[in-house]
Amino acid sequence: MDGGFSLKDQLFNRDKVRYLAGLFAAADGGFDADAFEAQVMADLPALELKQRMTLIAEVLADHLPEALPEAAPMLLKALPPPLDPSKTDDDFGDFIFAPLGEYVAAKGIQTHPELSLDLLEEITQRFSMEWAIRPFLNRWPGEVLARMEAWACHSSYHVRRLVSEGTRPRLPWGEAVGLTLDQPLPLLDRLHSDPTRYVTRSIANHLNDIAKKEPDLVMDRLEHWQAEGAQAAKELGWMTSHALRGLVKAGHPRAMKMLGYDPDLDLGAEIALKSQNVRIGDALEFSAHLDGRAGSAVLVDYILHFQRPGGKVSAKVFKLKQSKISGKLLKLDKRHKLEGNATTFKLVPGPHRIELMVNGKVRAEAAFELLPEDSD
C-alpha cells in the first residue's frame, strides 16, 4: 500500500547516502564507501528527518580521521562545485550536505572554532549552514560575529545569506541563540542593499522575527533604510511588506501607515453572509462592502473566530484584498472553504463569528452557525 509522500525519504535515502560516500571515496582512496553506506542504512529507515542528519554525521565521524584538522582537507576535497553563482534565489542546495554541518559542529566547536568557520563557509555554498552556525554563535559569539562582518561582503550570496539566516531569533528547526535582538542589526544594515532576493528575503524574515517582540525596533530600521536609499525602492518596498506581515495581521497602526494604509480612514463597512448556517466541508460565502473616499487605499482582511474543544475560541486572520476604493464603493466577494478533514486544525460545530478588518481595524462583523458534516 502506498504510504504517500515522505520528505525524509526524499531527502535522505540510499541513493543520497551512496552519492555522499562516493564523494568522500573520490577525495581519499582510504575511505570505505561501502562500509559507510552499510552502517548508515542499517539504522536510517527507522529514523525521522533530523535524526537521519545526526546519524549520517556520526557515521561520517567513524570513517574520517579523529581530529578535525586532519579530516578537514578530505572534507573540502569531497565537496562538489559551489552552487550556481549566476542564480539569485531558490537554490537551497542538496540536503545530503546538511550532516556535514553537524559533523563540523560536533568535532570542532570546543577546540577548533576558526577552522570550523572556514569549513562552514565552504559547505554553505553547497547547502545552507544556517542550523550548524548557531551552536558556534552560542559558544563563540564574538568570533562568529566578527567573521560574519567579513561574510556580509562575501562574493557568494549563499555566504551573505548565512549572516542573516543564521542569526535569526526564531529560525525553524534551529537552536535558540543567546544574541539580543539588536545585536545582528549592524550586519543587516550592511546586507539590506543586497542585489539577490535570496538574501533580502532572509533579512525580511529576520525582521519579522524581531517584530514579534520589538515592533518599533523593526520599523525604525526600515525607516532608516528608506532614508538611506541604498536599496532599490521597489525591493525595499517588498522587504518592508514581507517584514511587517505579522504586524499587519495584528493590525499594528504604525505598520499600516508604513505600508500606505491609514488605520483611521473614514470608512463605512458592511459584511453580508450568504447563509447564517454553514456545514463543515462547505464554504462560507460572504460579501464585503466598503464606502469611503474614492482613491483611498485599503488593506482588507477577515478574521474567523473558531470554536475549539473545551469551549475556547481561537482567531485566524486571512487575506482578502489590497485595493483602492473607486467611485466611493468597493464590493468584495469571497468563498472560504471550511474543510472537515484538515490534519492541523479540526473544526468544531457551534457558533462562529467573522470580522472584517480594514487597515488594521475591525469595521464589521457577522455571526454564523457551523453545522456538523452529517447534520440535516
Conformational region of residue 359, where left means phi above 0, alpha means psi within -120 to 50, and beta covers everything else: left
Confidence tier at 3 by pLDDT (50, 70, 90): low
CATH number for the segment(s) 267-371: 2.60.40.10
CA 83 to chain centre: 21
Question: What is the reported pLDDT for 4?
Answer: 66
pLDDT, tens digit, 9 for 90 and up, residues 161-195: 999 999 999 998 899 999 999 999 999 999 999 99
Write out the three cell numbers for 251: 493590525
Average pLDDT over residues 285-289: 97
Task: Please check whether residue 167 is in contact with residue 187, taking contact to mean a CB–CB distance below 8 angstroms.
Answer: yes
- Looking at the predicted structure, is the pLDDT value of residue 291 above 80? yes
Q: Is the pLDDT of residue 343 over 80?
A: no
Share of the chain above pLDDT 90, in %: 89
Q: Locate 100 and state its grid cell.
A: 556535514
- State how beta strands 350-358 and 361-371 pair: antiparallel
What is the phi/psi pair of residue 353, to 5°?
Answer: -140, 145
The span from the CA of 339 to the CA of 46, in Å, is: 32
pLDDT (mean) for 237-242: 97
> Is the model more confident about 343 or about 238?
238
Residue range(s) occupied by CATH 2.60.40.10 in the chain: 267-371
* 341 pLDDT above the threshold of 80: no
Q: What is each CA distance from 129 to 41, 101, 187, 324, 354, in whole angstroms?
A: 24, 6, 17, 43, 43
Where residue 1 falls among pLDDT bands split at 50, 70, 90? very low
In three-state secondary structure terms, 89 is: coil
* Averaged pLDDT, 328-341: 91
Q: Give the residue among 203, 196, 193 at the shortest CA–CA distance from 90.
A: 196
Q: Is the pLDDT of residue 376 over 70?
A: no
Listed in order, strand segments (DSSP E) in 57-102 are none
Residue type at 127 in one-letter notation: F
The sign one gets for the Cα dihedral 207, 212, 215, 217 is: negative
